[in-house]
Amino acid sequence: MKKLMTVIIGIVLTALIVVGGASAGQSKQGAAAAAHDFNGRQYAKDAKISLDHARRIAQKACAGVIVAEELEKESGGSGLRYSFDVRKDGITREVGVDAVTGVVLENSQEGPHPD
């Protein structure tokens, strides 16, 4: 019985490592795809916070995988913000980070018709 439990635990741990590695690869692919699809580069010269720094701020506010990102002019804060769509457990949240101050301006669940 003890040997059977050891084998089962080994199988479970192996499965967790494989799934964890696949998830990490997907996260990296998601970030690479998001960086490639980045909109708003024309505003980057006016931003005081880098895209990478804004990503870290957004993921600290809402852990998950960034599936879309853009730099946009929008009311609130300095008027220039990074907008991130962050997905976790099938739910997408929009996290807005002020591109000048780094303040989180928005952290809300996306509705059925995201902009």
Fold for 2-109, please state it.
Nuclear Transport Factor 2; Chain: A, (3.10.450)
- From the number of C-beta atoms within 10 Å of its C-beta (0-12, 13-18, 19+), residue 113 rates as exposed
pLDDT at residue 11, rounded to an integer: 59
Mean pLDDT, the chain, whole residue set? 79
Least confident range of 36-45, 47-56, 58-67: 36-45
Residue 53: pLDDT over 80: yes
Q: Where are the domains of the chain?
A: 2-109
Residue 110 binned pLDDT confidence (cut-offs 50, 70, 90): confident
Predicted confidence (pLDDT) at residue 112 exceeds the cutoff of 80: no
User: Tokens 């980045």 identify what position?
Assistant: 38
pLDDT digits (tens, 9 = 90+) for 23-34: 444 444 444 444
